Structure 1
């Protein structure tokens, strides 16, 4: 590519263009003597003139020094004959014609005054200055004004020669035409032009050669250049030469082709267009057009426009090497017939490939421009600028095969040192290799050595780990490198070092290292070590280690290990020793334990607490597992031993969810405890209040299979009641069990089907709103009382038929009928295997009416009031066979009621009534529209018993129940529940709950409450233990100094008021719960909560906490009161390292 462009275009500076000019000039000169006026007199003389007569009439015989003068033309010969009748003269014997500077000679000549045709024959010679034309004959047709030379026509001057079979000159059209085997030769330039036809226009001064024109030029070294095309054209006026058609240029091994070649002699410029292409065995140049510029005899510049491509291939016998550059345009600079530089502009792209030591490599790069430097006819350096990027492909050995690797890179400027296989990236450099990413101001990539060197704030990412420094070296082959003045971050910490060296795939050696979690340039604290070894995503080992606060050394250790493993991982939990004094337990040790991450799906945590005063040991166990879409669960247990009393206590809880197959699920839950006081007295305040006071333990298991329209469930349920007292004289329920439980349900399905289209009549369409449902359940209940057990077993099947239709577009009618079949193992009379069959019916009616009011009062734009009255009549006939009369004369049911199985034998006839009101509003405040969809709901309901006298009731109406729910704004709501006796209107019960929350301030919101414990199911990481501190991770920028306060500090508060009573006011209770949080400054936060008994006028419990954000440190103080128990707690710690702290106070458990 870089050795031959000069040779390709060397023929453009040869002298064949003057050759065409000479041909045209001599053709004109050859016929110049024919330009004479009509009727010009002529004179004939000779040594001997004889008049004779013959068959052709009178004629004049001329002998000796025959001379004929016709205007400026003089013809001489040895002999001649002039025929008077035909007015024709013939000359013979050394015929010579002279006209000005033009001399013509022939063996014979004739001229007819009648036809005005002059003919020269045999050995025709025409001379004009240094030009000589020869031929077998010549003819001039005066009337047509055409001159013709035929028979091996030759034109010769001092250095040039033109040959043709025939030359025609038309004086009227000023066209000179050479025909048949036209050959033009220039001896000075060793150039020859051949063709079948040539035309020269004297007016336009344009010469055209057609019919397979061909140019052959030979240089001084004997090398020939051949140009062929379909037409060659030369303009003498503009001094431009063109070759058209299928142009082909060949010089030794070099070839070029195009559709048009243009040579501008005055500008020393040549242009090839029409799919131009130039090539030889070492390369190729293509584009939409090629343009060459010369300086004297040397080509200086080659320009390629439009889809430009320049290809270089190493000569045969040398190491394989290929270079291809592409762009919108290319400029090639030459000097001393050698390519020196190549410039590529616009969408520039370079592809270079080579083979070294049997390993192929390939570099592809692009940019806005490329500057290619050439030495010894080979590319040596490529410079890319403007949005540059590239990919380097190389091969590495893997066993007996080669694996292709890629390095991607980009920068503002790229230099590719081709011979050295060196890539230099300058300005915002970025390089990517496998899982490695390097960013710096400058990067040098030695592809042969597979090494990197970066400077200018280099940053290296590898396996999602980041390292920065001042200078960096790295080996891609060994995956090792060195960072000088480096800085990196793993998990929550920053690591710096005078020298950080990668010595293994995931191992770093650090000299003069520092570690901190503070991101400030001058950190509030740091650890310093002369030697560090970092095991990525595992741990950091430092020897020795000194803790500095600011620049003051605080603590020194011979060595220390920092865990940096992300996510869940096994490890010892850091124990808390000597935390302070508890009012009841004294000093204590807690959370001494171990966390075991079994795998990605399960983990186990075990820890221990010790309290000095009792003394008491408490061990804890927690296991968790989760396999996505299949199973999940947890198991928690604790065991306590009081050494002084010799007592032991324990509890066990667990949950398991398992998907056994498609729509087949197993669920299990268990809760067991040794005694009712264990969780309240032993586990302490760290356990939630609900968990500590709970006295009902429930365990259950169920297996459920679902189909598209049915469901089958097998279950076991057990509930234990811990608050029973065997000494109170009441036969209390101790335990309730339901075993086993089996239920099968068919979902409601419409009996009919509505038509789906014009041609579909449906199926019983008049029953399309009628639905049939069925269910069946098998129960076995065991109730354990202080006095003994009660056991019942039964099965119930229920069939239901219901409908819902709308009348007059607003009234909805809903009739229904239900049949229930019950089977019992025995009735209350002791009869075994008894059954009951019951049916009942119902009819409901309801409607919804609404009205919109547009009051336009203030911001109130509209109110929507909807009213929904509902009536429901139900009836069941009397089934006396399912009852009996006891010893007191009271009729009772023969069958027990348990679970969902019961038999109601008596007749029932009742009417339920309700009236539901909903108020909604729309407000417009400035340009904002506010919708209050739940502004006010009021629901009033009661029922009427038609058989109230049979049921021993004094009046038919039940209590009138009223519920009111008000929510005018999003942070306030109030709910009121009332029940009134229908006759006297006396209130029987009342319940009111109101909630208000407020918040304000412009600062950044933080966590409302500090953490007091780990959430259920949350993860436990090594170093933090099973119990959590109260402190949150705050945000701030200062250590030991307050930030400037503002006039709008973030704050929040909430109040909940509860009131309830029965018919007697003495049963009323009043409770008020309040909580608040306030940021005193950016780093100070105070929180308070209290539970207040308004009736007794005393605070039942309250908590106060003060939190301080110390940037990378934090501190909290808390005081809590609950009944006669109190606790205080203080802790200051590094946020990222909970194990580095100072703590005083009482235990949280």
Structure 2
């Protein structure tokens, strides 16, 4: 290839062949020549050489482009690319404003473009997914080494800013005077760790020499002579740094330190430990597991050995507490016909009250521990068959009483219409007759905290089965009334019965337990008649546009009748004999008194029930002038009255009238529920009910015996813009205190609802977002002329966002009856960009404590933190 510039050379003389002249040289062919000599290829022995051939100038094909121009200098063997230049060489890609390729030295030099606007189009170096953004870069295509100046590269969750980087190969970098930070503003990071010399293995680790923390370019004495920063994107095992402090009479402590085991992609384990210098210690294991499209869950076990005072002192005490939590959920896609789930929370009744670990502080008000593990399966068909096996646990932490079912079996056969229509819907009393079959079996255990998980807890276990066959039908009466008739057959199997005898020597009735199978059968009948009445009152008249358009009243009256026969055949009597041998009386009992499914009734019952439910709604003119339809609002969500009359009773045949109701105000922000019990019978001088109406005794028609009122109200500076927040804020649990473990909390805030055009000030929040949640409850009792308020309390919780980074909150309550504050907690939070700071304070009560925390948000540096706390005194 020849290139010329300016001058065009003269064309040389061309020798043209003479096609008219024949060549005098004639080649004769030897007849004895072996044609195979020309067809066979003889292998030369010198072809296999031990010396490897020299590499070509470039190992890979260079692909390049540029927007303005590409120029090649033959003399210097250099290729120049300018403006939006890009080079692909093997797995390497370089983008920059100005790139020079030196073929003689096998070097690529990339830099940006300087103009009046500054330095633009800085190089972007990408090799095997590792991206570096320097000011300039010098890369050798033969050795694959590079010098990178003023580079910025992402390493895991952090960023490395280095003045000089030497690339040894595609997996090792050496850097000098570098900054490692997780800040978002890389031009002016609020903090960084200065690395004097370091080795970077992309995607794996950063190993550094002397390093210390800088905050806004101000050095701090916090540093290490050497450091190791794991950068792998996969789960890796590692040490969990503990927090330290001092706890009253237990001395200094280390809490929540341990080790994390990254066992597999589906299973991990974290083991934590607490240690106090007086000898107390705690262990905690947390496990998370998940298999996509199948199931997920977590398992945790906590154990603490608590020592108070010192051995030999009179107040010395030693106590062990534990808690087990397990949550398991099955993916809906795993199996539509069977399901396994678990929600377990069991352990010592005093665990949350006695625990020293700060993560349990927010749960000490929990008075109940409950667990449930269940498996259910459905057999599709006609009829459908279902069964489930469930183990349950309920524990009262105040009384330390535990109720368990190990297990509960439930089976059912779907609804069957034996006389139903083969085509179309069922009509009439006969076609609507349907029946079901239900089976329930239980092994019930009632024990105490001291016998939990001991063999004694099984001594008083009770087991049994219950079979029920409900038969029902429904049909229309007089077009507008719906009548339902039900009968129910019930059969109970039990494996323990009792027998009572009278011990004349001890002058008492003795109860003996008899092991063995026994059963009883009962049945009953009920029917109900109901309808729905709609009423509408219209306020609007022709030519008028009133605010209230109409009010609609929906009333659902219902009357029912129930009859329960007496099953006397299952009852026996025992004679009470005095010391003289004379019979003083008889005591009636049934051998099924301890059955877990109840006893057969020996009292005939024939009763009528009356109930009325009401609903009031209104249509009003919408404030929105563009709305075409009036707005519907709820006046009374429900207003219910119910009572019953016992035909078989000899006195006090009417039961008290129960009234309940509820409504909502202020665009569903305030929820109000109320109830009352009205007794028609009077009281005697001993405050006992008598068979005489209160109105006939000189009183009113009804006597108010109890009443209750609960209200919850949510206020927010956002108004009604975010209805999902309003519904969420109406939850009662949102008024309760928050968890105090700030070290394990991730701060995340919802986006602002302000208009996009409005930019909040960085110095202060001129529109201060706030929220307030109130819960009010009062109960009145006058059953025996007490005329007292049994409970009266107000709970409140609120948050104020003073600025986009500052927020304060409080949770408390006031007992209006006993005139005292309930559990109170004050919260302060500050978002420090890459850091977070939190302070929580319980100013009074037996749980008085405070906690201060400041640390880095990023999980890779979450152990770079400071935490100080004062724990509550131990209550024995």
Give the structure-2-normalised TM-score.
Answer: 0.70
Is 1:908 matched up with 2:605?
A: yes
- How far apart are the structure 2 equivalents of 1:763 and 1:1107? 63
3-state SS, counterpart of residue 881 of structure 1:
helix
Contact 2:491 2:519 in 1 (8 A): yes
Shift of 1:774: 0.8
CA deviation string 1:913-967 (max 9, x = no partner): 22222233445112465855655223323232333415xx412334323233334
- Provide structure 1 residue ranges, at least 5 long, that are not aligned to the other structure: 1-219, 224-356, 360-393, 397-404, 726-733, 1016-1025, 1037-1041
Q: State how 1:1009-1024 maps to structure 2 within 5 Å.
A: none
Partner residue, 2:226: 559
Q: 2:823 aligns with which of 1066, 1089, 1101?
A: 1101
Q: State how 1:468-487 maps to structure 2 within 5 Å.
A: 468-472=133-137, 482-487=147-152
Contact 1:1057 1:1071 in 2 (8 A): yes
Contact 1:893 1:905 in 2 (8 A): no
Shift of 1:546: 3.4
Partner residue, 2:848: 1126
Partner residue, 2:434: 771
Is 1:801 matched up with 2:489?
A: no
Partner residue, 2:667: 969
- How far apart are the structure 2 equivalents of 1:664 and 1:679? 35
- How far apart are the structure 2 equivalents of 1:651 and 1:997? 38
- How far apart are the structure 2 equivalents of 1:867 and 1:446? 92
CA deviation string 1:115-159 (max 9, x = no partner): xxxxxxxxxxxxxxxxxxxxxxxxxxxxxxxxxxxxxxxxxxxxx
Partner residue, 2:350: 677
Contact 1:1030 1:1116 in 2 (8 A): no
- How far apart are the structure 2 equivalents of 1:1014 and 1:435? 50
Is 1:1045 matched up with 2:777?
A: no
- How far apart are the structure 1 equivalents of 2:352 and 2:613? 45
| Greater percentage in strand | 1
Contact 1:621 1:638 in 2 (8 A): no
Shift of 1:1071: 1.2
Inter-CA distance 413–784: structure 2 relative to 1 (3 Å threshold): same
Partner residue, 1:995: 712
3-state SS, counterpart of residue 517 of structure 2:
strand
Contact 1:948 1:954 in 2 (8 A): no
- How far apart are the structure 1 equivalents of 2:77 and 2:604? 102
Q: 2:303 aligns with which of 626, 632, 638?
A: 638
Inter-CA distance 919–764: structure 2 relative to 1 (3 Å threshold): closer
Q: 2:360 aligns with which of 663, 677, 687?
A: 687
User: Over the residues paired in the alignment, what is the CA RMSD in angstroms?
Assistant: 4.8
Partner residue, 1:459: 124
Shift of 1:837: 2.4
3-state SS, counterpart of residue 687 of structure 1:
helix
CA deviation string 1:2-30 (max 9, x = no partner): xxxxxxxxxxxxxxxxxxxxxxxxxxxxx
Shift of 1:531: 1.9
The worse-fitting range, judged by mean Cα deviation, of 619-628 and 442-451 is: 442-451
- How far apart are the structure 2 equivalents of 1:589 and 1:737? 37
Is 1:954 matched up with 2:652?
A: yes
- Provide structure 2 residue ranges, at least 5 long, that are not aligned to the other structure: 1-14, 19-52, 112-120, 500-513, 576-584, 682-693, 695-701, 752-760
Q: 2:643 aligns with which of 928, 933, 943?
A: 943
- How far apart are the structure 2 equivalents of 1:412 and 1:842? 89
Is 1:883 matched up with 2:607?
A: no
Is 1:1083 matched up with 2:805?
A: yes
- How far apart are the structure 1 equivalents of 2:65 and 2:525? 82
Inter-CA distance 458–766: structure 2 relative to 1 (3 Å threshold): farther
Partner residue, 2:526: 842
The worse-fitting range, judged by mean Cα deviation, of 1059-1068 and 826-835 is: 826-835
Shift of 1:1078: 1.9
Partner residue, 1:549: 215
Inter-CA distance 513–435: structure 2 relative to 1 (3 Å threshold): same
Inter-CA distance 954–539: structure 2 relative to 1 (3 Å threshold): same
CA deviation string 1:993-1028 (max 9, x = no partner): 1111212179x999999999989xxxxxxxxxx972
Q: 1:655 aligns with which of 326, 332, 342?
A: 326
Contact 1:936 1:965 in 2 (8 A): yes
Shift of 1:537: 3.4
- How far apart are the structure 2 equivalents of 1:1101 and 1:836? 51
CA deviation string 1:1020-1070 (max 9, x = no partner): xxxxxx97267847899xxxxx94335421222121111123223435211
Shift of 1:406: 12
Contact 2:204 2:230 in 1 (8 A): yes
The worse-fitting range, judged by mean Cα deviation, of 1095-1104 and 429-438 is: 429-438
Inter-CA distance 658–1069: structure 2 relative to 1 (3 Å threshold): closer
- How far apart are the structure 1 equivalents of 2:767 and 2:178? 44
Shift of 1:428: 4.6
Q: State how 1:770-789 maps to structure 2 within 5 Å.
A: 770-784=433-447
Inter-CA distance 1123–414: structure 2 relative to 1 (3 Å threshold): same
Partner residue, 1:338: none
Shift of 1:627: 2.5
- How far apart are the structure 2 equivalents of 1:436 and 1:1077? 52
Partner residue, 1:122: none
Inter-CA distance 938–466: structure 2 relative to 1 (3 Å threshold): same
- How far apart are the structure 1 equivalents of 2:90 and 2:624? 58
Inter-CA distance 1081–944: structure 2 relative to 1 (3 Å threshold): closer
Q: 1:746 aligns with which of 413, 416, 419?
A: 413
Give the structure-1-normalised TM-score.
Answer: 0.55
Inter-CA distance 676–827: structure 2 relative to 1 (3 Å threshold): closer
Contact 2:535 2:554 in 1 (8 A): yes
Partner residue, 1:1028: 743
- How far apart are the structure 2 equivalents of 1:1012 and 1:538? 41
Inter-CA distance 1083–845: structure 2 relative to 1 (3 Å threshold): same
Shift of 1:677: 3.5
- How far apart are the structure 1 equivalents of 2:378 and 2:150? 65
| Paired positions, count | 722
- How far apart are the structure 1 equivalents of 2:226 and 2:213? 12
- How far apart are the structure 1 equivalents of 2:199 and 2:520? 81
- How far apart are the structure 1 equivalents of 2:647 and 2:228? 83
Inter-CA distance 1092–535: structure 2 relative to 1 (3 Å threshold): farther
Inter-CA distance 666–940: structure 2 relative to 1 (3 Å threshold): closer
Contact 1:814 1:844 in 2 (8 A): yes
- How far apart are the structure 1 equivalents of 2:79 and 2:417? 77
Q: State how 1:340-359 maps to structure 2 within 5 Å.
A: none
- How far apart are the structure 2 equivalents of 1:448 and 1:880? 113
Q: 1:871 aligns with which of 555, 559, 563?
A: 559
Contact 2:848 2:871 in 1 (8 A): no
Q: 2:703 aligns with which of 986, 991, 997?
A: 986
Q: State how 1:410-421 maps to structure 2 within 5 Å.
A: 412=67
CA deviation string 1:863-921 (max 9, x = no partner): 44322222332223333323344656565554236444553353332222222222334
**Structure with max Cα Rg:** 1
Shift of 1:766: 8.0
- How far apart are the structure 2 equivalents of 1:812 and 1:447? 96
Contact 1:751 1:767 in 2 (8 A): no
Contact 2:350 2:397 in 1 (8 A): no
Q: State how 1:46-125 maps to structure 2 within 5 Å.
A: none
Q: 1:571 aligns with which of 238, 249, 256?
A: 238
Is 1:710 matched up with 2:385?
A: yes
3-state SS, counterpart of residue 652 of structure 2:
coil
Inter-CA distance 600–796: structure 2 relative to 1 (3 Å threshold): same
3-state SS, counterpart of residue 1101 of structure 1:
coil
- How far apart are the structure 1 equivalents of 2:338 and 2:777? 44
